[in-house]
Amino acid sequence: MTGPDTVDGTEGRRLPTASPSLSALLDSIGTGAYVVDDRGCILAVNEHAERLLARPAGELLGHDAHDLLHRSRHGAALPRTQCGMRPAYMARRTQQSDNEWFERGDGSLIPVSWLITPCHTEGESETTLVLFHLPGDHYVADSESNRLHGPLSELERLALLAETTTQLTSTLDVEQALRRLVSLVVPQLADWAIVDLITEHDEVRRSAVVHAENGRLVHREDLQGPMPPVPEESPMPLSRALRGVSSALAGPETYQGTPDSGIAVEQRRLFEETGIHSAAIAPIRGVREVLGALTLGRTRRSEPLTAADLPLLEDITRRAGLALDNARLYQRQRKVAETMQRHLLPQLPRIPSLPITARYLAAPDASQVGGDWYDAFTLPNGATALAIGDVVGHDLDAAAGMAQIRNMLRAYAWAQQEPPSRVVERLDQAILHITEVPMATLLFAHMTVDDDGRWRLLWTNAGHPPPLLVAHDGRARYLAEEHGVLLGAGSHGPRPDSVAELPPGSTLVMYTDGLIESPGRSLDEGLHLLRRHAASLAHRPLEAFTDLLLERARPSGNDDDVALLALRIPSGA
């Protein structure tokens, strides 16, 4: 286990130290164990955990355990709101759970049962001990000892196929599926695994060339990359597999003659560079089309792959094809959802005297694409309208509701020429009667400039986080005067307007709750951190101010989308 004052030589960073008593405690435990501090960062880890997680201590120490390890059964990053560990160790209580999933260093998932309990050791404070193990006899291919030198028995074959199904269907990320695929077959079946994928533009890309070295999977990136097109009539094994014709065996001699295509040239190079003496190649088929091919190669083992190995390889690629098909479909849906939401967000007006900028960050999970939005437009009287809001929910319905609210707000604001409070009252009534939006928060404001050059903000707040005003000298305060209730709550009373003068050179920041809220901290803490970060960046140009504020203030592991609107008051003459 890594000791005190250890330095990670690859990154030059100092790793957390562990007291001798803590090291002794972990070394005495016969299952996977690590210790986290009050922020959830790993302080110490034992060898059992390193082996089960296929990660050396240097990849664990100092990292947030939840972000690094905790996953859903589908391989997606687990939102902190769904994590049972963090509330327990923050509350200093003992808790246990089954049927959880950790991600190993090779990208594969393992099911774990865990128990956490407060840990009191000399030299450490507010620490928590995490014990975990694999339920039952779960198979983990993490060392050379798992290499099978002979043919697989029927039981071993069925176990491998079951593991392939579990691992590949539990992720919707293409890259992660590929990592899991190669970790299942290397070194279990072969010394090398090569994955060639056909892209959506019918181009071939050699996505993975991987071999086992000292118990780890090593990528040969120099052999990866774009490939020549698939020849229509070539009888060569890889070309036939990429056309979905059949599986085949191959060796260096297969590609020694005059090459019939660019793919044959690349295959000759592959055999020469890797030293593969025997290979088996099978197509990866999706539901509707061929997605690519998987090649297994042997170098260290003298026994060649034979025709008897092809049925197992085809069973594996059949499962891989379904998993990749689902992952690609998911990614297409995510892209469509994000594109739709981004296109619903407006282009900001160009106002020479008033620089305005905005940012939008989507949630990491496609199912979490939501209703955060911003808007800015010029009114007929010359005032600038500013809006930022958040429709309740995290799905496409919320995004669609966001578009309805934004469009209605624009129409009312332009046509009625009324104070922000009255415009929002009209909007609230419309939401109740002609939309399906459940509830939403909204901050709506008018920016005006007097003849003497003084800028004023007139706004109304419907349950939204307050705007932040940052003076050029770094003083920052929230404009938290009067608040109204959420839109859609059924309130019929008048809404309040507030007014503030914005000093020259100041920056106004409007944002959604994803910038300040986190399960690991209170709302007051989030507001305090946002104000501190904004104050420290007051002297930065507006674009840099916005980017850095978003980077520094957004909570780590945030699973919500974020919208941010910022403007800079002119400094004056």
For the beta carbon of residue 65, count every other beta carbon within 10 angstroms: 25
Say which CATH topology domain 144-333 has: Beta-Lactamase (3.30.450)
C-alpha span between 360 and 268 (Å, rounded): 48
What lies within 8 Å, CB to CB, of 50 at 6+ separation is 56, 57, 60
The fold of 345-568 is: Phosphatase 2c; domain 1 (3.60.40)
Identify the pLDDT of residue 237. Answer: 95
CATH 3.40.190.10 fits 7-133, yes or no: no
7-133 and 144-333: identical CATH topology: yes
Domain boundaries, the chain: 7-133, 144-333, 345-568
**Under 8 Å CB-to-CB from 153, ≥6 apart: which residues?**
none
φ/ψ (deg, to 5) at 549? -65, -40
Q: Hey, what are 163's tokens?
A: 């593991």
DSSP state of 235: -
Q: Residue 492, class by beta-carbon neighbours within 10 Å (0-12 exposed, 13-18 middle, 19+ buried)?
A: exposed
pLDDT the model gives residue 347: 83
- Give the pLDDT confidence of 173-232 residue by residue, as tens digits: 888 888 889 988 988 899 999 999 998 888 999 999 999 887 778 999 999 999 999 999
DSSP 81-144: GG-SHHHHHHTT--EEEEEEEEE-TTS-EEEEEEEEEEE--TT--SEEEEEEE-STT-----SG
pLDDT averaged per 10 residues in sequence order, the chain, 573 residues: 44 53 72 85 90 90 91 77 78 79 86 82 71 62 43 75 82 85 89 93 93 84 95 94 95 92 95 96 93 95 90 93 88 71 76 90 62 91 94 70 88 93 94 84 95 93 96 95 87 90 97 87 90 95 95 79 94 68
